[in-house]
Structure 1
Amino acid sequence: MTNTAPRRPDLWAVTTADVTTPEALELLREYYYDVANRYYLLHLGREGTPEELETGLADSPSDDLAAPTGLFLIGRYDGTTHSCAGLRRYDATTVELTRVFVRPTVRATGGGARLLAAVDEAARAMGADRIILDTRLDLVEARAMYLRNGYREIPAYNSGPYSQVWYGKDLTVAAP
């Protein structure tokens, strides 16, 4: 599916949300299906079955993306829900970014940058001065978006089965 929306970053609004709402759960399901199917296609030459995808989703809960351990953000483009991101506390001054997703129909409209700007604000509000994340090498669009928005590759901080590259962003440094 390709982008069908005009590039209008001014139409994006991002707010915190309850990770258990129907709209949050729908976005999380789309996020999981998107990244899981890309993995299945790359490594197995096929998409995941509904059973595989639902089992994987159930094994990857997002309940820690709520106070006091984290928070969840939802982005709306022209009033319609289209993106999400989660933050979870990693340590006293660091939060981990996860579950970053922008629906394919609105990619390249400025939503990713707006979402990451809101992530920075939320992380600071949580008392963090650093954001970290892990991702896969095949998620090239996400990796490019992180680099465009001030993230830099860092040494591995975990050994997750899908962790192939790690990024960090220092929130104490002024944006260029």
Structure 2
Amino acid sequence: MTAWTFAPEAVDTPDATSLRRDFYDDVASRYWRRPATAAEVDEGLAGDGVERLVPPTGQFVVGRYGTEPAACGGVLLLDAERAELTRVYLRPAYRGKKGAGLLMETLEREARELGASRIVLNTRLDLVEARALYVRHGYTEIPAYCTGPYMEIWYGKPLR
């Protein structure tokens, strides 16, 4: 039986970079309702702030199904109490294999290890699978804690 493993990983490794590109391609293509071009993915990833996803300000995690890079996500400390969940992604071929829940548990543990007592996130209304995942894992809708062009709904959850 193939098993999932999750571990912190630098955002610029080949596997992490490939997952981040796939994440951005997926969310941008859904938003634009057409396939994103490689140039658009490059532009979207340029200056996206992932350099902060390292301790003590954050953490980036890669999930592997067997030996294959299949999932990723990050947590970013916003202040002394809150961490933000970001870049949560499972490649389509690995969805339905129980990895999403394990990824969420891993990211929440990483947020606690960074000192957070609450985790928050923002997303778009059209990302219905992601929203269902968050609700399934105990996240509830909260007032907006930030603003931006792709932020339509906000969720939060206590970690302790």
Aligning the two structures, in what range does the TM-score lie when normalised by the shorter sequence? Answer: over 0.9
Distance across 1 between alignment mates of 2:10 and 2:36: 28
Distance across 2 between alignment mates of 1:147 and 1:39: 21
Aligned positions of 1:40-55 closer than 5 A: 40-41=32-33, 46-55=34-43
Distance across 2 between alignment mates of 1:26 and 1:148: 27
Aligned to 1:4: none
Aligned to 2:28: 36
Distance across 2 between alignment mates of 1:80 and 1:31: 16
Percent sequence identity over aligned pairs:
47
Aligned to 1:120: 108
User: Which amino acid is the alignment partner of residue 81 of structure 2?
Assistant: T
Structure 1 segments of 4+ aligned residues over 4 angstroms from their partners: none
TM-score (norm 2): 0.95
State the SS of the aligned residue for 2:64. Answer: strand
Structure having the higher Rg? 1
CA RMSD of aligned residues (A): 1.3
User: Which amino acid is the alignment partner of residue 67 of structure 2?
Assistant: G
Distance across 2 between alignment mates of 1:102 and 1:91: 27
Aligned positions of 1:62-73 closer than 5 A: 62-73=50-61
Aligned to 1:3: none
The total of aligned residue pairs comes to: 160
1:23 equivalenced with 2:15 (yes/no) = yes
Distance across 1 between alignment mates of 2:37 and 2:67: 32
TM-score (norm 1): 0.86
Query: Which digits, 9 at most, give the CA deviation of each residue in 1:92-145, with x for residues without a partner?
Result: 011001000000001011100000001111111111110000000000000000
What displacement does 1:59 show?
4.0
Gaps of 5+ in 1: 1-7
